[in-house]
Every structure is written in structure tokens, then in C-alpha cells.
Amino acid sequence: MELASAKAVVSGGASGLGFATAERVIAAGGHAVLFDVNDEQGDKSAAELGESALYLHTDVADEAAVRESAQKAAEFMGGISLAVNCAGVLMPGRALGKDGPMPAEKFAKAVQVNLIGSFIVAKEAAALMQQNDANDDGERGVIISTASIAAFEGQIGQAAYSASKGGVVGMMLPLAREFAGIGIRVNTIAPGIFLTPMIAQLPEEIQQSLGAQIPFPSRLGKPAEYAELVASIYGNPMINGETIRLDGAIRMQPT
């Protein structure tokens, strides 16, 4: 599929990996709708991207809200051909912390946003993608969710986050197999340590320390590099049912 004609919805699109993805799509000539809950940043980001972008306040954990936003996005762009899940929360904490056992609500929040939210966006986007005309390969759309290397090497304090991201990896293949019949590909990207707004708030010495842990290149990942992988997946019809690590060969230690 050609990125120049992409009609993308990007959750978590106001900043970080999501914004970089929307920026890449629009730079190629496509359109993008940003789903986020940060209205101030969302409006600012959409304005920066120009007339080919739209921001919609959307809580990905709210099924009705996602369905409504997906419909509005399809009306704005004339359909949806790409959905990228970048919305997420960390919810760090030990199962047995200094204040006692972790509240189950905290664990559930990570699952609700990271896993269930990704599922909601995926299935609502697919419901609209199936209405698209197929290209010569029979393709109608592409769905890409964001997992994490924590899905495979979760550190101490990442039980909730790792479980939610492991679920994102686990649901990808069943969705890819199900949606194959309607010409929709489903893939997952598992990023390592990237320079997102959250990481950017850390002191410079900590950022450098994190980057030094990556074998090569020994630096933090750039959001534009994530966006470039999205573009590659979108353009290559044989990439389907895959989880692709984007991590500079890092393998996380327990702490």
C-alpha cells in the first residue's frame, strides 16, 4: 500500500511515537487523525501538521468513544486504511511495594489502556477498513500496535506493564489470521528505549546512561525511526502477523 494515500488513525498521536507516525504519513502525502486525551497538546500537534490532520479527544479504553472517533476520522479522511496504536501508560510498581501489595486497580489500568485499548482501536478500525476497495493484492488496510521489549524481558516493577504488552503481542496473530479474509494485515512493533516525552523529562545523565545500555547504536531510539518502520510495514504486503523488535539489540536485565 502507498503511504502517499494513507488514511491513518493514530492513538497517542499528540506526542512521541504517535506524533512522529502521523508526521511521517502526512509528509508522504497522506492524512492522519490523532486520538489522544491531552487536548492542549493534541490541538497544537494537529495545527503543526496542517490541514491533512485532525485531533479528536479519545480515551482508547472507552469503546463508545473510540467508535465515535473512528467514524469521525473516516468522514474527515474518506475512510481509514491505517491504524496505529501508540497510546499507553506505564503504571510502574512492585507487586510487593514498600506500602504493601500493589492494588489490583493499578494492574488493571495498564491492561485496560495498553491491551484492551489497543484491541478496541484495532477492531473498530477494521470494521471501517473492510469497506475499502481492495488493491491488486487484495489489501484493504493495515493495523499496527505498539508492544514493548518489556513484553519479553520485563524488569522488576513492570509486572503490570509487561503483562499488558505481552497481551498486545499475543493478540496480534489471531487478529492477523481473522482479518486476512478481508484483506487487513496486523502487525506489532516492540520498541526498546526511545526518546519519548516521558524519557525527555529525565536528567541528561540518566538519558545518556539508558542509551549506553543499547549495544548498537548506543543511543536512545528516535521517534522518527519508529515511524519509518510503520511506513515500511505499510508498504510491504508480506509483513503480516509479525512482532518486530526495534531495540538496537538490547536485552533488558532484571533491574
Q: What is the DSSP string of 30-59?
A: -EEEEEES-HHHHHHHHHHH-TTEEEEE--
Catalytic residue among 55, 161, 226, 234: 161
The pLDDT score that the predictor gives to residue 206 is 85
Examine the pLDDT at 203 and tell me if it is beyond 90. Answer: no
Share of the chain above pLDDT 70, in %: 100
Q: What would the mean pLDDT of 145-160 be, rounded to a whole number?
A: 96
Angle at Cα 206 formed by Cα 203 and Cα 113, nearest 5°?
Answer: 85
Cα separation, 179 vs 75, in Å, equals 23
Examine the pLDDT at 198 and tell me if it is beyond 90. Answer: no
Is 161 in the active site? yes
Examine the pLDDT at 200 and tell me if it is beyond 90. Answer: no
pLDDT digit string, tens, across residues 3-46:
999 999 999 999 999 999 999 999 999 999 999 999 999 999 99
Cell of 167: 497481551
The pLDDT score that the predictor gives to residue 71 is 98
pLDDT digit string, tens, across residues 81-133:
999 999 999 999 999 999 999 999 999 999 999 999 999 999 999 999 999 99
The pLDDT score that the predictor gives to residue 116 is 98
Give the per-residue SS3 of 76-119. HHCCCCEEEECCCCCCCCCCEECCEECCHHHHHHHHHHHHHHHH
pLDDT digit string, tens, across residues 204-255:
988 898 899 999 999 999 999 999 999 999 999 999 999 999 999 999 999 8
Q: What would the mean pLDDT of 66-76 be, rounded to a whole number?
A: 98
The pLDDT score that the predictor gives to residue 98 is 94
Closest CA to 186 of 222, 239, 227: 239
pTM of the model: 0.96
Closest CA to 37 of 95, 89, 108: 89
- The domains found in the chain, sorted by start residue, are 3-245 (3.40.50.720)
The pLDDT score that the predictor gives to residue 164 is 98
The pLDDT score that the predictor gives to residue 61 is 97
Q: Give the H/E segment covering residue 224.
A: helix 223-235
The pLDDT score that the predictor gives to residue 175 is 98
